[in-house]
A and B are shown apart, each in its own frame.
Chain A
Amino acid sequence: MSAIRMPEPDAQVLARRAEIIAALEKILPKESVVSTPTQLRPYETDALTAYRQTPIAVVLPETTEQVAQILRYCSANKVKVVPRGAGTSLSGGALPLEDGILMSMMKFNRILDVDLPNRAVVTQPGVTNLGITREVEHAGFYFAPDPSSQLACSVGGNIAENSGGVHSLKYGLTTNNVLGLEMVLMNGDIIRLGGKHLDSEAYDLLALLTGSEGLLAVITEVTVRVLQKPEGQQAVLVGFPTIIAAGQCVADIIAAGIIPGGMELMDNLSIVAAENYVNAGYPTEAAALMIIELDGPQAEITDLLAQVEAITQKNGAIYQRISQSEEERALFWAGRKSAFPAFGRLAPDFLCMDGTIPRAKLPEVLLEMEALEQKHGLRCGNVFHAGDGNLHPLILYDANKPGDLEAAEAFGADILRLCVKVGGVLTGEHGVGIEKRDLMPEMFSETDLAHQERIKCAFDPHHLLNPGKVFPQLHRCAELGKMHISGGKLPFPDIPRF
């Protein structure tokens, strides 16, 4: 294991391993409690594969009541719990704890209610992102968040991570597309939020749960809204001689009042990697490639295409191709969506970063990143959700080369610090997990983090649910609860009053 340390396992809990497994087997059928080393191996990691830990056991409940019973038992016996969906997290959100159990939600795999008049789907959390769309596409509907892992990732995981995708500028992240959920707190309380209606009656707990990375509650049911597909979609590939020109083109399109369905940017290394991988017809000579997707009625697309073309020409585009069929549009995207595996061919390993920056800072950040390549002696490619400023630098390394992983992690940390420095954030859609946990103080002060931890304390005061993630340091809730009031007199003679 490398730079990121996990909390020391509790020896007392480890010593009770057999007893814990026996207790879990009383709650669940025997086959739903996994505890042999061979069976546990597939659960050791998620998609942040550099980190692995073996839990005490994996439990696979299939009812909300079972989840509540397990959590009540674990609460009473101070056993930590890590929830897991499909295990596609890129930030280590589902990394098990050695002194905890892993709760896999993959037996919650049924869609419960497809309600098209209300444009809502009620589903169990283990259903895949694409599984929802498949259930409603016969009527022209789809579930808008489209992370690249949508074939595999679960909707429960989408909520935990507030997943985005290439269409999120126009159609929102998961948080903008969730209507309700059922969840179980660590104390066993079963709580329903929302439903098929819009907005919360009081505090917006859906907002807190979405993106909470499995630290607040275990989600056992989800209601999402589905949208009607736009009438048509057309994508344009545009090549540029410099990445700066492409960045300016992005700004100009937005400034013209156009919000494309998707707007992606790839640098030359990514273009070449993707082209070699899927033969999407990308111009490998271009320094930067934009994919712009326009959607709506054909009249609107045609009109927008003309406007976009004028803007790309003005910015010195050297290549342009407009999709002429649904197959061709899918091919344009296939290159972009396979960028991660394509990079897998360029080097034995790569780290995928996920900062967001104000779009205008793109040239500055890219220049600085070139300098960082020199500093760390590693190559880095860039794919970029240009519409919303979400950067995915891919750092190439070789885990078998001593020191390479550490160098890649240091490079990644430098990139994220740079994102924060220019006014951006540590993560746009992959989550903090363990990967960016120790960088949180780059963006948040101790007081900022304390207020976030207080949310955690309201849900899970003993830090039993997915501890060691998101927060660089765990404070006892009792300690966070103390008030530190300075003074008592009113020390502000200059505040105007009436």
Chain B
Amino acid sequence: MLENDKVNGGAHPASTVQAQEASIFAPQNTQQVQEVVAWALAQQQPLQIEGTGTKLGWGRAVELPHRLTLKNFSGIIDYQPEELVLTAKAGTPMAQIEAALAEHGQILPFEPINPAAFASGHGEPMQTTGTLGGVLATNLSGPRRLKAGAARDHVLGLTAVSGRAEVFKAGGKVVKNVTGYDVARAFCNSWGTLMIATELTLKVLPRPQEERSLCVLGASCETASQIMSAAMASSAEVSSAAYLPDFVARRLASNPLADMGSLTLLRLEGSSGSIAARFRQLQSALNAYGEQSTLDASTSGSIWRQIRDVVPLALPQTCLWRISLAPAHGHRFLQALPHSLASGYFRDWAGGLVWLQTPTEEPEGETIRAALHKAGGGHATLMRAPLAQRQQQQVFQPQPAPLQQLSQRIKQQFDPQAVLNPGRMYAGS
């Protein structure tokens, strides 16, 4: 994209930037972010908001001449392991945050998706890319979301600049706080359309000492719903639960069970003594569902990373959907789909998250959402598609009129002139 833009050289006096020219602003502090938004308002020029740009291929495609990147606005401001709280600038690379946490045996519990590995075929450990702001703005959480909660569940507070070019803060820097509306949590999944977060405070947790996965072999999609419900109804504290049909299981790298048919995977984490006891309990709770196998710590870790980053569905020239629905209804949704669409999929979050790959460049949004409605509802988001599709299709789940109007009013309150990422979620907003 860069080469197509007319790019302003760094030596230009900034006040000479004309609205007609394409420009990339890279502010280094909150004040400068505020100044860029003030400029955008005065010039009536919308801004494309980004971090390191790893998610520009996701969501609704907007291509705007003026871009604000937070990649130079980086660094951990405050990290107190014994308080379980970390504050960092929005442009801080995830790898840097994860490394700082690892030094103290802590993690971001929601297991953020690694955009570099996302649906790319690279399942092995690599540094998580993207920025803290981007991870939270999209609220994309990994397999441990089932037990630990989503990205949004870990946000405690923020400093942000709204589309009014005003700097404000919301929330706090302590783990328990109900003072005022939870605007910081509402930043999550707003895709840069309400505010530009500049500093974010998160709750962090100790890293589980060990992990191990129990695997039920050869279950049907419907039986897998029952297995995962039974596992979650046990006291085994399952932290992740997924169902991989056999053709998806075969695509996993370093999977010792590749030839064993479908896999229903259940992850246990904690101290070794605790895992051993819960593992036995889980084995007996799932006794009736057929043959079982075990994945040791390193295999389990590798496979859950591949599930997190949707590696098994990494085929070019296809569309990829992310569908959230009632966990025990997952098989009903897949049964309601035309057979041609139900071939490339797997289920995470105990069945409540379906990653669905449609075989052609045609996203089939209406068909997918009709099947979802039939299965009891939820939402379907088009995650990967050719650019033209992401410009034309309903990328995010359409909302009923009163809800859509309410969302619009919130957008107007925070960004009355629509200068922040307009059209990134829905057309015309």
- Closest A residue to B403 using CB positions: A191
The reply to whether B326 and A193 contact each other, CB–CB distance below 8 Å, is no
Task: State the total of A-B contacts with C-beta under 8 angstroms.
Answer: 345
Q: Complex formed: what's the CA distance from A457 to B72 in Å? A: 35
Q: Which of B39, B182, B277, B376 contacts A211 (CB 8 A)?
A: B182
B residues 253-284 near A (Cβ < 8 Å) are: 270-271, 273-274, 276-278, 281
A322 interface residue (CB < 8 Å to B): no
- Report if A176-B149 is in contact (Cβ < 8 Å); known contacts: A440-B180, A495-B26: yes
- Chain B residues contacting A455 (CB-CB under 8 Å) are 181, 183, 186, 410, 413
A481 interface residue (CB < 8 Å to B): yes
| B 304-330 to A, binary, CB cutoff 8 A, 1 in contact else 0 | 000000000000000000001111110
The reply to whether B36 and A492 contact each other, CB–CB distance below 8 Å, is yes
Q: Complex formed: what's the CA distance from A447 to B164 in Å? A: 11
- Chain A residues contacting B141 (CB-CB under 8 Å) are 199
CB distance from B237 to the nearest CB of A (A): 7
The reply to whether B23 and A497 contact each other, CB–CB distance below 8 Å, is yes
- Chain A residues contacting B190 (CB-CB under 8 Å) are 203-204
- Report if A208-B42 is in contact (Cβ < 8 Å); known contacts: A230-B237, A498-B8: no
- Chain B residues contacting A491 (CB-CB under 8 Å) are 15, 35, 38-39
- Chain B residues contacting A140 (CB-CB under 8 Å) are 233, 235
The reply to whether A498 and B43 contact each other, CB–CB distance below 8 Å, is no
A488 interface residue (CB < 8 Å to B): yes
- Which of B77-85, B295-303, B338-346, B355-363 lies at the interface with chain A? B77-85
The reply to whether A230 and B182 contact each other, CB–CB distance below 8 Å, is no
A311 interface residue (CB < 8 Å to B): no
The reply to whether A485 and B38 contact each other, CB–CB distance below 8 Å, is yes
Q: Complex formed: what's the CA distance from A90 to B28 in Å? A: 43
The reply to whether A204 and B139 contact each other, CB–CB distance below 8 Å, is yes
B residues 1-55 near A (Cβ < 8 Å) are: 2, 7-10, 12-15, 17, 23-28, 32, 35-36, 38-39, 41-43
A463 interface residue (CB < 8 Å to B): no
B388 interface residue (CB < 8 Å to A): no
- Which of A117-125, A127-135, A371-379 lies at the interface with chain B? A117-125
The reply to whether B152 and A207 contact each other, CB–CB distance below 8 Å, is yes
B residues 384-429 near A (Cβ < 8 Å) are: 396-397, 399-400, 402-403, 405-407, 409-410, 412-414, 416-417, 425-426
| B 202-237 to A, binary, CB cutoff 8 A, 1 in contact else 0 | 000111010000000000000001100100111101
- Chain B residues contacting A203 (CB-CB under 8 Å) are 186, 189-190, 194, 407, 410
The reply to whether B194 and A495 contact each other, CB–CB distance below 8 Å, is no
A172 interface residue (CB < 8 Å to B): yes
The reply to whether A190 and B402 contact each other, CB–CB distance below 8 Å, is yes
How many residues of A are counted as interface, with CB atoms below 8 angstroms from the partner's CB atoms? 112
The reply to whether A481 and B413 contact each other, CB–CB distance below 8 Å, is yes
- Which of A265-273, A334-342, A423-431 lies at the interface with chain B? A423-431
The reply to whether B188 and A204 contact each other, CB–CB distance below 8 Å, is yes
The reply to whether B14 and A493 contact each other, CB–CB distance below 8 Å, is yes
Q: Complex formed: what's the CA distance from A390 to B185 in Å? A: 20
The reply to whether A443 and B179 contact each other, CB–CB distance below 8 Å, is yes
B169 interface residue (CB < 8 Å to A): yes
- Report if A447-B273 is in contact (Cβ < 8 Å); known contacts: A424-B172, A455-B181: no
The reply to whether B174 and A299 contact each other, CB–CB distance below 8 Å, is no
CB distance from A298 to the nearest CB of B (A): 7
The reply to whether B169 and A207 contact each other, CB–CB distance below 8 Å, is no
- Chain B residues contacting A210 (CB-CB under 8 Å) are 182
The reply to whether A211 and B178 contact each other, CB–CB distance below 8 Å, is yes
- Closest B residue to A232 using CB positions: B235
- Chain A residues contacting B118 (CB-CB under 8 Å) are none
The reply to whether B35 and A492 contact each other, CB–CB distance below 8 Å, is yes
- Report if A201-B399 is in contact (Cβ < 8 Å); known contacts: A162-B182, A299-B276, A427-B178: yes
- Chain B residues contacting A231 (CB-CB under 8 Å) are 235, 277-278, 281
- Closest A residue to B397 using CB positions: A201
CB distance from B242 to the nearest CB of A (A): 14
| B 124-162 to A, binary, CB cutoff 8 A, 1 in contact else 0 | 000000000000000101000100011011000000001
- Report if A490-B399 is in contact (Cβ < 8 Å); known contacts: A197-B352, A360-B83: no
- Chain B residues contacting A369 (CB-CB under 8 Å) are none
B381 interface residue (CB < 8 Å to A): yes
The reply to whether A356 and B396 contact each other, CB–CB distance below 8 Å, is no
A residues 428-446 near B (Cβ < 8 Å) are: 428-432, 436, 440, 443-445
- Report if A495-B13 is in contact (Cβ < 8 Å); known contacts: A202-B426, A228-B233, A481-B413: no
CB distance from A139 to the nearest CB of B (A): 7
Q: Complex formed: what's the CA distance from A207 to B10 in Å? A: 41
- Report if A498-B26 is in contact (Cβ < 8 Å); known contacts: A197-B378, A231-B235, A451-B168: yes
A319 interface residue (CB < 8 Å to B): no
The reply to whether A205 and B14 contact each other, CB–CB distance below 8 Å, is no
The reply to whether A447 and B166 contact each other, CB–CB distance below 8 Å, is yes
The reply to whether A189 and B402 contact each other, CB–CB distance below 8 Å, is yes
CB distance from A440 to the nearest CB of B (A): 7
- Chain B residues contacting A495 (CB-CB under 8 Å) are 14, 25-28, 32, 35-36
- Chain B residues contacting A196 (CB-CB under 8 Å) are 325-327, 329, 376
Q: Complex formed: what's the CA distance from A491 to B15 in Å? A: 6
- Which of A33-41, A98-106, A251-259 lies at the interface with chain B? A251-259
- Report if A164-B402 is in contact (Cβ < 8 Å); known contacts: A204-B188, A299-B277, A358-B80: no
Q: Complex formed: what's the CA distance from A276 to B237 in Å? A: 38
A264 interface residue (CB < 8 Å to B): no
A residues 387-423 near B (Cβ < 8 Å) are: 388-390, 423
The reply to whether B175 and A457 contact each other, CB–CB distance below 8 Å, is no
The reply to whether A457 and B413 contact each other, CB–CB distance below 8 Å, is yes
CB distance from A450 to the nearest CB of B (A): 7
The reply to whether A255 and B179 contact each other, CB–CB distance below 8 Å, is no
Q: Complex formed: what's the CA distance from A431 to B181 in Å? A: 10
A359 interface residue (CB < 8 Å to B): yes
A173 interface residue (CB < 8 Å to B): yes
A4 interface residue (CB < 8 Å to B): no
The reply to whether B396 and A198 contact each other, CB–CB distance below 8 Å, is no
- Chain A residues contacting B409 (CB-CB under 8 Å) are 457-459
CB distance from B277 to the nearest CB of A (A): 4
The reply to whether B176 and A300 contact each other, CB–CB distance below 8 Å, is no
- Chain B residues contacting A120 (CB-CB under 8 Å) are 326
- Chain B residues contacting A169 (CB-CB under 8 Å) are 175-176
The reply to whether B328 and A118 contact each other, CB–CB distance below 8 Å, is yes
- Report if A388-B35 is in contact (Cβ < 8 Å); known contacts: A230-B237, A360-B82: no
- Chain A residues contacting B209 (CB-CB under 8 Å) are 257
- Closest B residue to A303 using CB positions: B273
The reply to whether A425 and B182 contact each other, CB–CB distance below 8 Å, is no
The reply to whether A448 and B169 contact each other, CB–CB distance below 8 Å, is yes
B353 interface residue (CB < 8 Å to A): yes
A residues 198-235 near B (Cβ < 8 Å) are: 198-205, 207-208, 210-212, 228-231
- Chain A residues contacting B337 (CB-CB under 8 Å) are none
- Chain A residues contacting B165 (CB-CB under 8 Å) are 485
Q: What are 28 A-B interface contacts by the 8 Å CB criterion? A: A115-B326, A169-B176, A189-B406, A190-B402, A192-B403, A197-B327, A197-B378, A200-B139, A201-B397, A203-B189, A204-B185, A211-B182, A212-B181, A230-B237, A299-B276, A356-B174, A358-B173, A429-B176, A443-B172, A451-B166, A458-B410, A483-B416, A488-B42, A489-B15, A496-B26, A496-B28, A497-B23, A497-B26
Closest 3 CB pairs of A and B: A300-B274, A201-B379, A488-B42
Q: Which positions in A face B, CB cutoff 8 Å?
A: 115-120, 139-141, 161-162, 164, 168-169, 172-173, 175-176, 185, 189-193, 195-205, 207-208, 210-212, 228-231, 251, 254-255, 257-259, 296-300, 302-303, 356-360, 385, 388-390, 423-432, 436, 440, 443-445, 447-452, 454-459, 470, 480-481, 483-498
- 9 further A-B contacts with Cβ under 8 Å, apart from A201-B396, A457-B413, are A202-B399, A229-B235, A385-B176, A432-B179, A451-B183, A451-B414, A457-B409, A497-B10, A497-B24
